């Protein structure tokens, strides 16, 4: 079976499905998925793969992307462009790091 094509354009489209998922669910959930799949013209497996893949991509993106308010955005980039002078504690930490970490 060829991989399903997601509406987001999965990079897996056109590749053969070789990995397998097995899970159990309630009859109600199965019937709901079958009904929704039929409405989209997909078989149940293609519909489920598409839905799960889209949810996985959205979940990963939500955890990897940081959204800042404009004022926080400005403060962040100001700190990058003009960082404060190192404190004594930071200088001590760097010195300890240099003593403890082996350089290659």
- Distant-in-sequence, close-in-space partners of 59: CB < 8 Å, separation ≥ 6: none
In contact, 51 and 37? CB cutoff 8 Å: no
55 neighbors 8 (Cβ within 8 angstroms): no
Burial of residue 48 (CB within 10 Å: 0-12, 13-18, 19+) is buried
DSSP three-state, residue 2: strand
Whether the model pTM is above 0.85: no
103 alpha-carbon distance from chain centroid: 34
> Per residue in 49-71, pLDDT tens?
999 999 999 999 999 998 899 99
Q: How far is CA 57 from CA 29, 78, 82, in A?
A: 22, 32, 36
Per residue of the chain (104 residues), give pLDDT as tens.
444 445 545 566 678 888 988 889 999 999 999 999 999 999 999 999 999 999 999 999 999 998 899 999 999 999 999 999 999 999 999 999 999 998 77
């Amino acid at each position: 079976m060829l991989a399903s094509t997601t509406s987001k354009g999965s990079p897996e489209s056109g590749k053969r499905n070789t990995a397998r998922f097995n899970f159990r669910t309630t009859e109600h959930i199965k019937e709901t998925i079958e009904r929704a799949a039929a409405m989209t013209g997909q078989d149940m497996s293609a519909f489920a793969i598409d839905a799960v893949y889209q949810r996985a991509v959205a979940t990963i993106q939500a955890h990897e992307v940081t959204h800042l308010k404009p004022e926080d955005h400005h403060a962040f980039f100001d700190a990058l462009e003009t960082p404060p002078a190192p404190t004594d504690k930071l200088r001590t930490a760097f010195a300890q790091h240099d003593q403890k970490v082996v350089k290659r």
